[in-house]
A and B are shown apart, each in its own frame.
Chain A
């Protein structure tokens, strides 16, 4: 399989890209694992599996999952409305979907926290009703939902757009109701993209820091996400522990990446 390559630049491009990636990404990440490796086994477990850390993981994963699920449902509805229906302002709505991708996380955090406190536009109504959208776990889910909004929509939209209407029409001709058609024909067709979008939103939420740190209140054991715990450990001079927890988070992120890739491949095989 060693045909001479017609196109030039293979070695140069590959060498440059690999060196760049190695120096910028791999070496620093390796430094993290190396530093964590300096801990003894007991210290490692104490750092990584302390009650506070477990609470942080639970919140990080739980809130990310919740936010991704919310986006899975509403993102699908959004994509459906944008592709299948016509209504005034549709184009504007479509562009707005990308706002969370472009807006800096700190600004998102600032505005969400200001909205949901008692003196904010939404808080003045919600807080008396007992709904605390700031400095609570709900606040974390809200802001993570914001961050992940584009992923499901943008994953499902193209698939919906290029869907062949013939299949749905055939189902209707054979006597299926709209509901049945949706469940048996359209949904399975959308499933791979839908899962991909969900997984991307989830992975994105896992690492989010800038917006959450403004809205959560950062109470250990209650509203502290894992990245905040890492920073807290850093600020206490506990480098070993910080890197240990960071390593756990990194491994979880790698795992999420691999799972996303696997899911994509599986769903394409199964449903496409």
Chain B
């Protein structure tokens, strides 16, 4: 897409090389080396120990299962929200629209620790709903529901933020056409809207999932740290670290890093997809 740079736009070779070197160096120092270190530390005791750490430890296995339960649950719920919010925001104009957009962005700027704290304030035994929950035998904090809730909180914006620009960019013409031709609301949604936004939706899901799996701060506050019960993968890594099992902690970390790299690969693959109409932001 880029035309060859004219002499007027070409930077002197020395400057070019220097800037490339700086760019590469910065990225290497800040990203590549730490990433490599994760895997190096994980394999410090050899491959056999690495595999054992991940597969043989029942608490780690449970942490894998727990993360694979919490993250998809949070993502699924946030997909429903993202679709609803994007539909309302992209297709309609109403009073308070800007406020809604700002509110969606809110969890981005809230520290995860505060997210955990506010849920303890609401659902902990000393919190607003605590006694009522206890009386009815419902446990939220220090159990699975609490973990899902805080993960929901921190990942709220992801799907919505991806869908809104896509919906806005594609325009409502086809949908309006479908309606005027007699399609029902859900029919129009299923047959016209979804196929158009499916790549944006997928993109949002991938980002949302990556964030959900890696959530640490909020989970730390509401987890209860019961090994084999309420430790997600990031919490398990921290716990292993505390139990002198540094290679074990990094083994779990490497699993998370691997998932991150897979996420990135999917993201790159999606970006290259011909159907994907991506504009800035």
A residues whose Cβ falls under 8 Å from a Cβ of B: 5-10, 12-14, 16-18, 20-21, 24-29, 31-32, 35, 74, 77-78, 80-82, 84-85, 87, 89, 93, 95-108, 110-112, 114-115, 120-122, 142, 145-146, 149, 155, 158-159, 161-162, 165, 168-169, 171-173, 178, 181, 193, 203-204, 206-210, 213, 226-228, 230-231, 234, 239, 242-243, 246, 249-250, 253-254, 256-258, 261
For B240-281 the 0/1 string (1 means CB < 8 A from A) is: 010000100110010011001101110110000000000111
In the complex, which residue of chain A has the Cβ closest to the Cβ of B115? A28
B38, B94, B127, B189: which contacts A14 (Cβ < 8 A)? B94
- B91 in the interface, Cβ–Cβ < 8 Å? yes
Name the A residues within 8 Å of B126 (CB-CB).
239
Size bin of chain B's contact surface: 35 or more
A-side contacts of B241, CB under 8 Å: 110
Complexed CA–CA distance, A29 and B149 (Å)? 14
Given A104-B234, A104-B260: A112 and B34 within 8 A (CB)?
A: yes
Contact between chains at B114 and A249 (CB < 8 Å) = yes
Other A-B pairs, 5, CB within 8 Å; known A99-B261, A104-B213, A209-B111: A107-B237, A111-B38, A161-B2, A207-B114, A227-B111
Nearest CB in chain A: distance from B39 CB, A:
9
B135 interfacial contact with A, CB 8 Å: no
Interface residues of B in 172-219 (CB under 8 A from A): 172, 175-176, 179-180, 185, 188-189, 207, 210, 213-217
Check if B221 sits within 8 Å of A110, measured CB to CB.
Answer: no
Classify the interface of chain B: helix, strand, loop or mixed. helix
Among A13, A145, A203, A234, which residue has the most Cβ atoms of chain B within 10 A? A13
Query: Measured between alpha carbons, how far is A213 from B235 in the docked complex, in Å?
Result: 13
Determine whether the beta carbon of A95 is less than 8 Å from that of B268: yes
> 7 nearest interchain CB pairs?
A104-B214, A172-B8, A158-B280, A210-B216, A207-B111, A8-B185, A209-B217
Q: How far is the CA of A107 from the CA of B38 in the complex (A)?
A: 8
Closest CB in chain A relative to B3 CB, distance in Å: 7
Q: How far is the CA of A142 from the CA of B214 in the complex (A)?
A: 20
Shortest Cβ distance from A252 into chain B, in angstroms? Answer: 9
In the complex, which of the residues A8, A95, A97, A146 contacts B34, with contact meaning CB atoms closer than 8 Å? A146
Is B103 in contact with chain A by the CB < 8 A criterion?
Answer: yes
| C-alpha gap A155/B213 in the complex (Å) | 25
Q: A172-B8, A210-B234 are in contact. Are A102 and B84 (CB under 8 A)?
A: no
- A-B residue pairs in contact (CB < 8 Å), sample of 5: A12-B84, A20-B84, A104-B253, A110-B237, A207-B111
